[in-house]
C-alpha cells in the first residue's frame, strides 16, 4: 500500500505578533494565539501565500 504524503501548507500571518509566512502551524500558532485582532490564513502553495501577503501590505 502507498501512503499519501500530507500536503504542505503555508500560513500567512497578516496581523499578529510577527507578520510573515510560516511553513508549519507549530510556528504560526504562537504568533496569533490570544492576539487581539489576529488575521491569518493557510494556503496550499508558497506562491499563493506570497501573493496574498504582498496584496495585504
Strand partners, 14: none
Strand partners, 41: 12
Q: How far apart are CA 17 and CA 7, in angstroms?
A: 26
Query: Tens digit of pLDDT per residue, the chain (57 long)?
Result: 567 777 899 999 999 999 999 999 999 999 999 999 999 999 999 999 999 999 987
Task: Report whether 26 contacts 57 (CB < 8 A).
Answer: no
Q: Which domains does the chain have, with CATH numbers?
A: 10-56 (3.40.970.10)
The pTM of the full predicted model, rounded to 2 decimals, is 0.85
Grid cell 496581523 — which residue?
Answer: 15
Amino acid at each position: 500500500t502507498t501512503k499519501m504524503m500530507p500536503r504542505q501548507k503555508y500560513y500567512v500571518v497578516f496581523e499578529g505578533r510577527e507578520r510573515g509566512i510560516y511553513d508549519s502551524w507549530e510556528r504560526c500558532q504562537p504568533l496569533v494565539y490570544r492576539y487581539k485582532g489576529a488575521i491569518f490564513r493557510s494556503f496550499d502553495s508558497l506562491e499563493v501565500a506570497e501573493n496574498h501577503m504582498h496584496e495585504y501590505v
